[in-house]
Chain A
Amino acid sequence: MTLRLDALGQRYGDHPVLHDITLTVPDGQLLCVVGPSGCGKSTLLRTVAGLQPAREGTITLDDAPVTGVPDHLAVVFQDYGRSLFPWLTVRDNVALPLRRRGLARAARRAEADRILERVGLDGTARRHPWQLSGGMQQRVAIARALVCRPSLLLMDEPFGSLDAQTREDLEDLLLEVHRTDATTIVFVTHDIDESVYVGDRVVVLSPGPASRVVLDLPVELPGKRDQIGTRRLPEFVALRSEVGRVVRGA
């Protein structure tokens, strides 16, 4: 699904947050959006998700303007503890989006279990989210996002509060999902290394107010990405320092 932002602007009252954002995310691309805290990354995702109307400009998905929450969209939020429903089991959390597809109960459960296995959570279906570690909870949130096979996946600093090892595991899970499903993904992070490791392309927003796009960089790295080899490549190091320079405003 192709996402197109055209002169998008957003504000809270008199406080401008985003200004004149023009971007095209082609079908199947994994776009990373980087920027300092408070520059409007979450606001950008919320606007694309149709959770708040754009104040200026337009957003289109496959040429259809976004008004309200689009179909085939899924979102993963940073705060898994709040985004999951603690009163539902892991399986029921994951199966929740399937209700609107009109599947029977047994089919919903089977589908949820299948996706849980895919994200490495087999055997946790009947537990409750708060009985799992942070990394596993975020896997549940990812499973809930994937279960409806979205064509656009938005992720708002999804790994920001996880420890380094867990974060690397989940980055690789994301890459695997992206390789097999070819979903269009917008991945927000404030971690420069992560953006270069995960993204097909990195976009940097300037510090607010009225953030703009200050860098738009394709990420071309040889071979399949892996946590140890890729981060040592000279291409990786060069891209990372370029993004870092722009983020720090040099």
Chain B
Amino acid sequence: MSGGRGTVGHPQPAARPAFAWRHAVLRLVVLLVALGAWQWGARARGSVYFPPPSRIALRAQELWFSGPARHAFLSAAGIGDVLPSLGRMAAGFGIAAVGGIAAGVLVGRSAWAYALCNPVLQFARAVPPPALVPVFVVVFAFGAPMQIASIAFSAVWPVLINTAEGVRATDPLRLDVAAVLRLNPFERLRFLLLPSALPHIFAGLRLSLSLSLILMVFSELLPGTANGIGFTLTDAQSRSDLLTVWAALLLLGVLGHLLNTALLAVERRMTGRRRPT
């Protein structure tokens, strides 16, 4: 084997363990201090509008997570509100992801299609997504199809645009390699275009995921909705049940955080075996 001086590359370790550990502790401390301050401030004021976090968490638990173990501790409201919301969000996000990646590859593959579509895409992205919901209300009337369509139509643009950018950024030398190896279009997609665009695709998916959550709640705030976390919000508000409103906000924050963490984990799994370039 030849002298391997010079350019040996090693995967970057995430961070030195001691350092990562200290970081985690520090984060926890900041979180606890913030929670403590909130708890203390809310108790001191004693306002019904700003209940302390301990009561909010308790209400969230009794509302949604007081069920039997065989239902994964979900209560009737948990099954009736949280699951339908998540289901509609998953459907909308799934449609946006699949459609956005497919369309993004098509648009990104051809300079001609990109030049043609780019203004339209930039326009579509610039429209504030909730403003589109009334359109879907008219098209689908109220209900799950309208909600899923709102989510999908809002979340599709970031994936689509980022996928197209990623595919366009494919190294031209690698395209030459693919041509010389005579990969067929499917192989070129599978072995070159998608892997090389993957970081862009995930950047788009992260944006789309947070849009999906926003649109999930927003589409449930409208009249004609019968269940969901957004519905719980408006319903509690109409009954002046502020504790439940706060509990729903807490639940949304936790859900958003969990979903984002899950997506990051998937991304790390899929891109972990290559050096960041």
By a beta-carbon cutoff of 8 Å, the part of chain A in contact with chain B is 46, 49, 51, 69, 71, 73-75, 77, 79, 81-83, 85-88, 96-97, 99-100, 120-121, 128, 130-136, 139, 144, 163, 165-166, 169-170
Contact = CB atoms under 8 A, between A and B. Distances in A.
B6 A134 contact: yes
B195 A87 contact: yes
B167 to A, nearest CB: 15
Contacts, number: 95
Nearest to B187: A99
Nearest to A80: B7
Given A128-B273, A130-B274, A133-B8, A75 B180 contact: yes
Given A69-B182, A88-B191, A128-B274, A135 B174 contact: no
Given A69-B180, A77-B177, A87-B198, 6 more contacts: A85-B195, A100-B184, A128-B274, A135-B3, A136-B1, A169-B3
Interface in B31-83: none
A131 B275 CA distance: 9
Given A82-B174, A165-B3, A97 B181 contact: yes
A69 B179 contact: yes
8 closest cross-chain pairs (CB), A and B? A133-B4, A135-B2, A87-B195, A130-B9, A169-B2, A134-B7, A166-B2, A165-B3
Contacts of A85: 174, 177, 191-192, 195
Range class of the B interface residue count: 20 to 34
B86 interface: no
Contacts of A132: 4, 8
A12 to B, nearest CB: 14
B176 A51 contact: yes
Contact of A133 (B6, B11, B198): B6
B177 A83 contact: yes
Nearest to B1: A120
A46 B176 CA distance: 9
Interface in B1-20: 1-11
Given A73-B180, A77-B177, A100-B184, A86 B3 contact: no
B183 interface: yes
B25 interface: no
Interface of B: 1-11, 171, 173-174, 176-177, 179-184, 187, 191-192, 195-196, 198, 273-275, 277
Given A85-B192, A130-B274, A77 B8 contact: no
Contacts of A128: 273-275
A157 to B, nearest CB: 13
A100 B195 CA distance: 20
Contacts of A79: 173
A56 to B, nearest CB: 22
B247 to A, nearest CB: 44
A155 to B, nearest CB: 12
A139 B4 CA distance: 12
A238 B177 CA distance: 38
B175 to A, nearest CB: 9
A131 B9 contact: yes
B2 A86 contact: no
Contacts of B174: 82-83, 85
30 contacts: A69-B180, A69-B182, A74-B180, A75-B176, A75-B180, A82-B171, A82-B173, A83-B177, A85-B174, A85-B191, A87-B198, A87-B273, A87-B274, A96-B181, A97-B181, A99-B187, A100-B181, A100-B182, A100-B184, A120-B2, A128-B273, A130-B9, A133-B2, A134-B4, A134-B6, A163-B5, A165-B3, A166-B2, A166-B3, A166-B4
Contacts of A51: 176, 179-180
A71 B182 CA distance: 9
B273 A133 contact: no
A88 B5 CA distance: 23
Nearest to B198: A87
B55 to A, nearest CB: 50
A163 B187 contact: no
B195 A163 contact: no
